[in-house]
Each structure stands twice: as structure tokens, then as C-alpha cells.
Amino acid sequence: MKLQIYRANEETVIEGCKKQNRQAQEQLFHQYSGKMYALCCRYIKDKMEAEDVLITAFAKLFERINQYKGEGSFEGWIRRIIVNESLSYLRKNKSMYVETDLEEARPVALMDTHDAKFEADDLLTLIGELPTGYRIVFNLYAIDGYSHKEIAEQLGINENTSKSQLSRARTMLQKQLDNLNRELVKKINEL
């Protein structure tokens, strides 16, 4: 029952936005801005710049809302606009540095034998500390579910470059997690 009410309300808000109703636009913004701001921040480190990208993306969303045909998840449609705008911002500002590609990238397990439990926020913080190219590919692949082919097309790189960036990001995250685990064990032993 709740899902039906939510879906009906979402459809009403979308229809209002298609008619350029300011209240509907405001409601849509308030409903999704928190999640989408967090998404922007995964790609863009500076919080003010991420906020600017969010506002620009929502402006484009309102301009293009008639393109949404009700097929698939509306939130997924919004996410794609946010990711595209974030990548566009990074390209324009030339802050997207992608390493040269390797012939073949080996997959590396992110957490093999770690007994310590890390919160999602802690992991997102570690991901945020990755070099830009690593962070972007890791976000696109591991979190947002893009394929290496899609990432290569989005970023204008070779698929092997995407694979190598992901592999290097995983390796760096593994090292960061190992370091945190050692620090945690050391603190426990000092007690």
C-alpha cells in the first residue's frame, strides 16, 4: 500500500514538474537533493563545487523532464543525469586525470581476510581519498554499476584503462584497509 501511494505521489510530482510547476519542482528537489548531493561528492571532492554541480544538474533535469517516459526507475534516471553532470564538470575543469592503460588488469579482492568491520561512511571516506582517476572509475564501476565499456565511452578512454584504474583503486583501498586494520590492532593491544 505504501509503495502504491509513494508511486502515485511521485507520478504527480513528475507531472507537475513537466508543467513547470514550481511547488512540484521544489518537492522533487527536496526529495532527492540529499542523495544526489552525496553522489556528487563521491566524484567531486570540493563540497561547494559539488553543490554547484548538483544545482546545474537539477536545472538540466527540469529542462529535460519531458524525456522521462515512466520506464524504469525515476531515481535511476536522476542518478544518470547527476553522474553525467559530475563527469562533465570534471572534464571541463581538467581535474580528471586517468593513468595510462595496462594491457591486462588483474582483479584484486577488496577485502580478503579482514575481520574488522568498517562502516559504509568510512569506506566512502577512503574512496574519496583515492586519486581522481581511480576514484571516478571505482565509483562508476563498483558503486554505480557501469560496465568498463560504458566507462570507457563516458570518459573517452580505452576499456583496458578503465580496468587498470579499477585494479589500482582496489589495490590502494586494500592497502588503506590493511593500514587501518593494523592501527586498530595496535590500539587494542595498547589497552
Quick one: pLDDT band at residue 70, thresholds 50, 70, 90?
A: confident
Whether 35 has a pLDDT exceeding 70, the answer reads: yes
What pLDDT sits at residue 107?
43
Contacts of 187 (CB under 8 A, 6+ apart): none
Contacts 24+ apart (CB under 8 A), 76-81: 78/32, 78/36, 79/36, 79/39, 79/144, 81/57
Q: Are 152 and 161 in contact (CB under 8 A)?
A: yes
**C-alpha 152: how far from its chain's center?**
16
d(CA 35, CA 41): 10
Domain boundary assignment for the chain: 2-92, 120-190
Contact call for residues 36 and 54 (beta carbons, < 8 A)? yes
pLDDT, average across residues 15-28: 94
- The model's confidence at residue 47, banded by pLDDT at 50, 70 and 90, is very high
User: What share of the chain in percent tops pLDDT 70?
Assistant: 82
Answer yes or no: CATH 1.10.10.10 is held by domain 120-190.
yes
Do residues 123 and 129 make contact, with C-beta atoms less than 8 angstroms apart?
no
List, for residues 88-143, the tens digit of each pLDDT value: 998 888 655 554 444 434 444 444 434 445 567 778 888 888 998 999 999 999 98
Cβ(160)–Cβ(106) below 8 Å: no
Q: What is the pLDDT of residue 96?
A: 53
User: Quick one: what percent of the chain has pLDDT higher than 90?
Assistant: 56
Domain 2-92 has CATH 1.10.1740.10: yes
Angle subtended at Cα 56 by Cα 50 and Cα 62, rounded to the nearest 5 degrees: 135
Q: How many CA atoms lie within 13 A of 148 on its CB side?
A: 14
- Mean pLDDT calculated for residue range 67-73: 88
